[in-house]
Amino acid sequence: MSADSKLYADVLSTFFAEAKDMLQQMEDALLSLEDDPDDKETINALFRAIHTIKGSAGLFELNDVVQFTHKVESVLDRLRNGALPFEAKLSDVLLKSADHIFLMLEYLESKSTDEAKLALLGIESKALVEQLAEYLEHDTPIKAKEKNEPTQNLKPKVGTWHISLRFSQDAFRNGLDPISTLHYLLNLGEITTIFAIDDRLPDLELLDPESCFLGFEIRLFTAAPQHDIEAAFEFVQDDCSLRLFPPSGPEVDFVSLINELPEEPRLGDILVECGAVSRRIVEEAMQEHNNSPQLANAPRLTIGEILVAKNTVTPEIIDAALSKQSKMRETRTTDNSSRFVRVPADKLDALINLVGEMVICSASAGLLAQNAQNSSMLEATQQMSRLVEEIRNDALSLRMVYIGETFGRFKRVVRDVASELGKKVELEIIGAETELDKSVVEKIADPLMHLVRNSLDHGIELPDVRSSIGKIPTAKISLSAHHDSGHVVIRVIDDGCGIDGEKLVAKARERGLISLNQQFTEQEKLNLIFLPGFSTAEVVTNLSGRGVGMDVVKKNIEALRGQVVLKSTVGVGTTIEIQLPLTLAIIDGFLVKVGMYTYVIPLQAVVECVDADNSKLLKHNRWSGNFDLRGDVLPFLELQEIFAIANDIPERRSIVVVKNNDSLIGLLVDQLQGEYQTVIKPLGKLFKNLRGVCGSTVLGSGEVALILDVPALVRVATENEHEQHNVAVVDRQVLVHANQ
Amino acid sequence: MGAVRLPDDLTIYQVTEIKAILLKALREYERRNTAIELDFSNVKECDGAGVQLLLALSNSAAKAGATVALHSVPKPLAKLLDDLQLSSRFLVNS
């Protein structure tokens, strides 16, 4: 039983995940409809999304969700029928509804018992339902239809319905259980007679037990309206053919049923036996069937066509048929979705972790082979390390997701915030297909949100202000992403008012964040915005301006080993550039030795290596200086001094030239040891504040090497000596600790 | 030979294994004319796929001239077979 409840919990959590996906699709569809309100396909997609949520919520008996989604579905149905025009206000209500469904799902998922929250949700539900109702009550005839009670069915008929049901072979595999459908019917009324149709069922030996060959002829005595009976089949309609015969329908209708299922010779008898038709009708049908063989050969009419022909058509049935057809079309168009497999993220993480360990092992095997000078073994290990590298790349690519998904979310934010502030903003997305590690994408979403909101709130001017200064009234925010030397560069660009460096300085002084006589370059002035506790908003809005924005953004990005650079021109706009590593797990490293310690420099940062000619090194102070690289003057850092390694300076040293932002800088090291695949092991809590290194790794020999964080190193070196001292001291502790 | 004991679940997840069990019972009957007797005392779940499988067994057994007896059928399953008006296809002993 506990296995069952676990299964149920698993399925439920899948439902939540999928429903949220659906809501996202719904939101996307709504936003794209705002640009192109007549796009039928999108309207259909919208309808399908909500329909699916309603359907699956029904399976889990999440009645509140079902009731609410039903209202939304009804409105969307009218939209789909063309009875309702798509307009901004409706879009608003629908977007809010999607949000509300999301909140309801969140609440249910959290298994919270917070009464107050529940009550709040209830109130919100009511308010939205009232708003939705406006779209249902424009004209009464359609309203009746909306409630899925066709005029002729307004008075429910008490009587015996005949239901003819054949499941498709894939029904079981699609997770359907005919039994549940029948149980549902039992709730509606009394099943007076039921015949299990097993004509299609092969002999036991030949039976594929996972395919469904079942069918039922059911007599249901009920007062329920047609709509309710059909609801029982709502979730299975893709996987069964269903024929409903109302209590007082003409018997002739059954003729088509008999004709349509020629492979079931007993059907006529069954129908007679259960009282659906008289013997005479069946005989007539058989005769008709025999007399007109061309009818049997004629292309089969769809159920809808037959019903239309028989003049017993009800809007519901046509609707059901249409939605079934559109669903079939949908499965065809989204065929590639079946090529994807949902995998829990932690399984992927475990895999990547293992691959990481394998990289270490293979490096150590390679080292052993090298030391043993066994050439055939060396060859084998080289082969292996090549394969391991491929596995590593493939494993990492599994975690790669498009950043477009994250960008897409901002469409909604920009739309809502802009309209709230009375601004006109167009969002441009560039490079949505840029791939980035999933964990990075997840962590970058929040900082990006802050940046976009800041742009909207502080950057973009009101339309008339823009017109008055000669800008086009509609502002533009662009989100762009692209790959650049092993990094991903994300830019948030707006064409708003820009950031005034002087204002920042004044504000920072006022807040006592800087001293009165400190002097700044333009870039430094802009960087003041990243100081903790800094806010320039004159009016604190609920969007931004609480002063927690930029320093948190910066901290979050740096935690991802990324950087953020702000460029701004007053009156023209602001560009915020974020640089992020592609992945957090493994990097290609370049090994260098300083004294007896090994360090890893991320390979993507390495530009070239040159011999250090001691005579050409010009030292400014203990740890830095500059040197001549083919006529250019480059600064260099002496790692030995920065990390305070007591060591005799060897005769020959090397300089590794690395890229730091847009400039180059040299690192003076004792020895170059070549490339190395580096599995990053994060530093322990104790070393969280350590600067200049961003992690450690275990070498093939078992030795621990620190991974250098070049930009941080540069920052450290340009700051005061006291802090460097800290770095160096802690560095030793790391080594001691890691070697233990 | 006693009744063939069926596992916990007569559901889509297990039908392939159960089909093998049932087929063996059918073959056993054909070879030695022993009755087809199934013990349901362990069965806790049964879905449409399970019912279909029993139905296929019953049909194939009928062709071979045998009846299928179900023993220790749990109440819910007995009710299900009743609801589906399929009880007559088997000898159901609860």
Give yes or no for A274 touching B (CB within 8 A): no
Nearest Cα residue in chain A from B80: A179
Contact at CB, B83 and A191, closer than 8 angstroms: yes
Contact at CB, A178 and B48, closer than 8 angstroms: yes
pLDDT of residue A248: 67
Radius of gyration of chain A (CA): 35
- Chain B partners of A207 at a C-beta cutoff of 8 Å? 19, 53, 56
Contact at CB, A203 and B60, closer than 8 angstroms: yes
Rounded Cα–Cα distance for residues A164 and A254 (Å): 10
pLDDT of residue A146: 39
pLDDT of residue A287: 60
pLDDT digits (tens, 9 = 90+) for A562-617: 888 888 888 888 999 998 876 666 677 899 998 888 899 988 788 899 888 777 77
Residues A354, A357, A363: CA angle, nearest 5 degrees? 140
Contact yes or no for A441/A401 (Cβ under 8 A): yes
Rounded Cα–Cα distance for residues A49 and A66 (Å): 13
| C-alpha distance from residue A568 to each of A85, A499, A575 (Å) | 43, 6, 6
Nearest Cα residue in chain B from A181: B48
**If DSSP codes are grouped into helix, strand and coil, which group holds residue A641?**
helix
Helices (H), A455-499: 463-468
How many structural domains compose chain B? 1
pLDDT of residue A54: 83
Rounded Cα–Cα distance for residues A437 and A35 (Å): 31
User: What is the identity of the amino acid at A124?
Assistant: E
pLDDT digits (tens, 9 = 90+) for A109-158: 887 777 788 888 888 888 888 888 887 765 434 333 333 434 343 444 57
Q: Tokens for A181?
A: 């459908």
Contact at CB, A214 and B18, closer than 8 angstroms: no
pLDDT of residue A236: 77
Specify the higher pLDDT residue, A61 or A145.
A61
Question: Chain B interface, mutation test: which of A204, A205, A219, A274, most B Cβ atoms within 10 Å?
Answer: A204
Contact at CB, A203 and B22, closer than 8 angstroms: no
pLDDT of residue A73: 84
Please give the share of chain A, as a percent, with pLDDT higher than 90. Answer: 2
Give me the mean pLDDT over the A368-373 stretch. Answer: 86
Question: Chain B interface, mutation test: which of A176, A185, A207, most B Cβ atoms within 10 Å?
Answer: A207
Give yes or no for B87 touching A (CB within 8 A): no
Rounded Cα–Cα distance for residues A482 and A216 (Å): 58
Ranges under pLDDT 70 in chain B = 1-2, 34, 94
Rounded Cα–Cα distance for residues A466 and A494 (Å): 13
Of B16, B19, B52, the CB nearest to A201: B52
Contact yes or no for B72/B35 (Cβ under 8 A): no
pLDDT of residue A38: 78
**If DSSP codes are grouped into helix, strand and coil, which group holds residue A198?**
coil
Contact at CB, B52 and A203, closer than 8 angstroms: no
Contact at CB, B56 and A204, closer than 8 angstroms: yes
- Chain A partners of B84 at a C-beta cutoff of 8 Å? 179, 182, 194, 196
Going by C-beta distance under 8 Å and a sequence separation of 6 or more, which residues neighbour residue A229?
A161, A163, A185, A188, A220, A222, A244
Rounded Cα–Cα distance for residues A252 and A118 (Å): 52
Give me the mean pLDDT over the A359-370 stretch. Answer: 83
pLDDT of residue A577: 92
Give me the mean pLDDT over the A548-559 stretch. Answer: 76
pLDDT of residue A731: 46
Give yes or no for B35 touching A (CB within 8 A): no
**If DSSP codes are grouped into helix, strand and coil, which group holds residue B27?**
helix
Give yes or no for A235 touching B (CB within 8 A): no
Contact at CB, A204 and B83, closer than 8 angstroms: no
Contact at CB, B84 and A194, closer than 8 angstroms: yes
pLDDT of residue A739: 40
Question: Chain A interface, mutation test: which of B9, B10, B12, B24, most A Cβ atoms within 10 Å?
Answer: B12
Q: Tokens for A13?
A: 């959590």
pLDDT of residue A301: 42
Give me the mean pLDDT over the A489-508 stretch. Answer: 86
Q: Tokens for A564?
A: 């953020």
pLDDT digits (tens, 9 = 90+) for A165-217: 888 888 888 878 888 888 888 878 888 888 888 888 888 888 888 888 888 88
CATH architecture of A586-739: Beta Barrel (2.40)
CATH architecture of A2-146: Up-down Bundle (1.20)
pLDDT digits (tens, 9 = 90+) for A216-227: 888 888 877 777
Of B45, B53, B60, the CB nearest to A209: B53
Contact yes or no for A535/A547 (Cβ under 8 A): yes
Beta bridge partners of A399: none
Helices (H), A579-700: 639-642
- Chain B partners of A4 at a C-beta cutoff of 8 Å? 45
Residue B68 domain boundaries: 4-92
pLDDT digits (tens, 9 = 90+) for A632-688: 888 888 888 888 887 777 888 889 998 876 678 888 888 898 887 777 776 777 776
Specify the higher pLDDT residue, A274 or A163.
A163
CATH number at residue B54: 3.30.750.24
Give yes or no for B25 touching A (CB within 8 A): no
Rounded Cα–Cα distance for residues A553 and A307 (Å): 62
Residue A120's CB is within 10 A of a number of other CB atoms, namely: 13
Give yes or no for A7 touching B (CB within 8 A): no
Of B12, B23, B83, the CB nearest to A172: B12
Least Cα distance to A473 among A428, A424, A426, A419 occurs for A424
Specify the higher pLDDT residue, A271 or A164.
A164
Rounded Cα–Cα distance for residues A591 and A707 (Å): 9
Rounded Cα–Cα distance for residues A229 and A236 (Å): 13
Q: What is the CATH number of domain A401-581?
A: 3.30.565.10
Contact at CB, B55 and A191, closer than 8 angstroms: no
Of B16, B26, B83, the CB nearest to A204: B26
Least Cα distance to A492 among A530, A456, A525, A439 occurs for A456
- Chain A partners of B80 at a C-beta cutoff of 8 Å? 179
What value of ipTM does the predicted structure carry?
A: 0.89
Contact at CB, B15 and A210, closer than 8 angstroms: yes
Contact yes or no for A392/A586 (Cβ under 8 A): yes
Nearest Cα residue in chain B from A205: B23
Contact at CB, A214 and B84, closer than 8 angstroms: no
Of B26, B49, B86, the CB nearest to A209: B49
Contact yes or no for A248/A157 (Cβ under 8 A): yes
Rounded Cα–Cα distance for residues A460 and A477 (Å): 9
Identify how many contiguous H helices and E strands chain A contains and give both numbers.
Answer: 25, 22
Give yes or no for A195 touching B (CB within 8 A): yes
Give yes or no for B80 touching A (CB within 8 A): yes
Of A179, A202, A204, the CB nearest to B47: A179
- Chain B partners of A213 at a C-beta cutoff of 8 Å? 52
- Chain B partners of A209 at a C-beta cutoff of 8 Å? 15-16, 18-19, 49, 52-53, 56
pLDDT digits (tens, 9 = 90+) for A276-327: 666 666 666 656 555 544 444 444 444 444 444 444 444 454 455 455 545 5
* Of A37-41, A416-420, A688-692, B28-32, the least confident: A688-692
Beta bridge partners of A586: A679
The overall average pLDDT reported for chain A is 76
pLDDT of residue A491: 92
Give yes or no for A510 touching B (CB within 8 A): no
User: What is the identity of the amino acid at A442?
Assistant: E
pLDDT of residue A275: 64
- Chain A partners of B53 at a C-beta cutoff of 8 Å? 204, 207, 209
- Chain A partners of B10 at a C-beta cutoff of 8 Å? none
Least Cα distance to A581 among A682, A451, A398, A439 occurs for A439
Chain B nearest CA to A589, separation (Å): 48
